[in-house]
Amino acid sequence: MSSVLGIHGVRNYKAADTTPAIGSKRLRTDWLEALGSSVSGLELETVYFADLLRSERQGDQLDDVEVVLIEQWARAWGLDPSGVQGRATGWLRWICGEVAQRSGQRPAVVEKTVRMFFPEVARYFTTGREAVRERVRDALVRHRPKVVVAHSLGSVVAYEALHGTAEDLEVRLLLTLGSPLALPHAVFHRLDPAPRDGKGTKPACVRRWVNVADVGDFVAVPKGMLAQRFPGIDELPEISIAPTWPHGVLDYLRHRSVSEAIAAGVRPR
């Protein structure tokens, strides 16, 4: 049994991770370093699935599923991309430039994030879902964590895997960081189990669910919608983890509100 299980998001594949065990070990080292001494005596394990979502595709061309997901994300920002010609670099840069204005970020940062986020989301929903969920479910059963910390796409995997895990698992805290779970159509309406009457459900094995999102995290949209879409969630006040890139997991883990939430879940008062 481990006190915490970490579930990563996108952009975690490394060629040196020749096995999932090696990838998990690298992630564990990075997460522990980010948390530092803020959670003393932490028993942390991480589960690695980046290899299952890796693509061999070269270049910047987007496929049809990625285009649809980006369009749906843009609409969540109040944009209508249908009038923009083409589906290539210029189209994406226009969307990212508009989102950058609304979020206060640099267009290049938004575009870089979009290019690394949506291809992995597309692969998860089209070809990688079962294999990724199975690996995460195995880790949940093996480690039986008190706390599950899930970042970005990992929060989607955690949500689905926890719903598919035997109910004798008892998770005191599910902590989601920079989560896109409420993103309409691109994520929310693709979830398994599917939402009913516009609402998702907290997994039965989870006692408490807390969500944290940076005020400028342009992946975690629409702002403030997670608690409305998933009744029973506690959303911490919006924080600022890193002005230059507000979606990085290590910056989330370094923030006091996140380490305090983990500590409270591991050692409830």
The full set of domain ranges for the chain reads 4-55+123-266, 64-116
Please tell me the distance from the alpha carbon of residue 39 to that of residue 50, in angstroms, as a whole number: 26
- Alpha helices per DSSP H over 144-195: 153-163
pLDDT tens digits for the chain (269 residues)? 569 999 999 999 999 999 999 999 999 999 999 998 878 778 999 999 999 999 877 566 788 899 999 999 999 999 988 877 666 678 899 999 999 998 888 899 899 889 989 999 999 999 999 999 999 999 999 999 999 999 999 999 999 999 988 668 999 999 999 999 999 999 999 999 999 999 999 999 999 999 999 988 889 988 888 999 999 999 887 788 887 788 889 999 999 999 999 999 988 76
Phi first, then psi, for residue 9 (nearest 5°) are -105, -145
With b for 16 or more beta-carbon neighbours within 10 A and e for fewer, the 157-189 pattern comes to bbbbbbbebeeebebbbbbbbbbbbbbbebbbe
**Residue 8: what residue type?**
H
Q: Which of 1, 48, 6 is nearest to 155 (CA)?
A: 6
CB 151 within 8 A of CB 192: no
Query: Would you state the pLDDT for residue 223?
Result: 83
Tokens representing residue 46 in the block? 């991480």
Q: May I ask the CATH class of domain 4-55+123-266?
A: alpha beta
Identify any residues that bridge with 150 across adjacent strands, giving them in sequence order: 7, 176
Query: How far from 241 is each of 66, 104, 109, 161, 263, CA to CA, in Å?
Result: 28, 14, 15, 27, 19
For 171, how many CA atoms within 13 A lie in the half-sphere containing its CB? 31
Identify any residues that bridge with 37 across adjacent strands, giving them in sequence order: none
DSSP string of 114-150, one letter each residue: HHHHHHHHHHIIIIIHHHHHHHHHHHHHHH--SEEEE
**Residue 45: what residue type?**
E
Strands (E), the chain: 4-7, 44-47, 147-151, 171-177, 206-212, 233-235
pTM of this structure:
0.94
Query: Would you state the pLDDT for residue 2?
Result: 64
DSSP string of 243-254, one letter each residue: TT-TT-HHHHHH
Query: How far from 221 is each of 28, 63, 90, 202, CA to CA, in Å?
Result: 27, 22, 23, 19
